[in-house]
Amino acid sequence: MSGDLDTITSLRGGAIAAIRSADLDRKTGLAQESATRWFARTLSLRSPLDPPLADRPGRPERPELVPPKHMEKRSLHTLKGRIALLHAIAHIELNAVDLALDIVARFATEPVPNSFFDGWMQVAFEEAKHFRMVRTRLRELGADYGDLSAHDGLWQAAHATRTDLTARLAVVPLILEARGLDVTPALQAKMRETGDMESAAVLDVIYNDEKGHVAVGAKWFRFLCAREKRDPARAFQELVRANFRGSLKAPFNDIARAEAGLTPSFYRSLTSTSNA
């Protein structure tokens, strides 16, 4: 990593360098190093030397990206099934690294407090940690990230909200990350049932951190709505209908969502609507 430190021209520059990197060790390293230096207040927010922001994040040649409907479902009671689940989670966490960095880089000129960037760099740091943990677990099971195919839906959601920070917050942390709070407890239980305590422990770390990530999204979504004198729940519903394909699917982990500041008034009315 030492040679890469020169590429961190600013917080925005470090985030862009991480997004652009196709080397996943380098990507996660740059994300965490940029966060560490930002927290230490040794980086400016922006610099004229920052590279241009890429339309798509850097990726290795594998995994092959396919439409979500082409993804196979496998039983967690088989090793192949657990590897497939962990591979899917690794892909989600990798996208989450780039999504958090993209919020920082893309919206670095927004009139928001520095604590906005603190929150998202904490998210980026932890998503990088999650990706590394899941990849390590895959390797312990005799597999690796890239062995299976993956889908590209997460980045498509980011692309759709690239010009509107409020819409980005509605779709990424408050739909996509919140979905993790809904589905992870059942996956943890299934991993324990199969005796895979190591994978369950990885999911525990991810689940507890994700609550904080949804909370960061909810905090800043409410901040922007207050500034624009918009009702947060109504604004959320309008933005989701305009920017998110498909309906929100139950079951919802209402308690974990509420702890993160995402109350049922936000999402309950959206469960049966679809603009797909």
- Choice between 4 and 231, residue whose per-residue pLDDT is larger: 231
Burial class of 193 by CB neighbour count within 10 A (0 to 12, 13 to 18, 19+)? exposed
CATH code, residues 11-43+68-266: 1.20.1260
The percent of residues in the chain predicted with pLDDT above 90, rounded, is 82
Q: What is the mean pLDDT of residues 93-113?
A: 97
Nearest Cα residue to 172 out of 249, 256, 95? 95
Residue type, 66: V
pTM over cut 0.75: yes
Task: Show the 3-state SS of the chain.
Answer: CHHHHHHCCCHHHHHHHHHHCCCHHHHHHHHHHHHHHHHCCCCCCCCCCCCCCCCCCCCCCCCCEECHHHCCCCCCCCHHHHHHHHHHHHHHHHHHHHHHHHHHHHCCCCCCCHHHHHHHHHHHHHHHHHHHHHHHHHHHCCCCCCCCCEECHHHHHHHHCCCCHHHHHHHHHHHHHHHHHHHHHHHHHHHHHCCCHHHHHHHHHHHHHHHHHHHHHHHHHHHHHHHCCCCHHHHHHHHHHHHCCCCCCCCCCHHHHHHCCCCHHHHHHHCCCCCC
- Digit-coded pLDDT (tens) for 70-98: 677 778 889 999 999 999 999 999 999 99
Domain ranges of the chain: 11-43+68-266
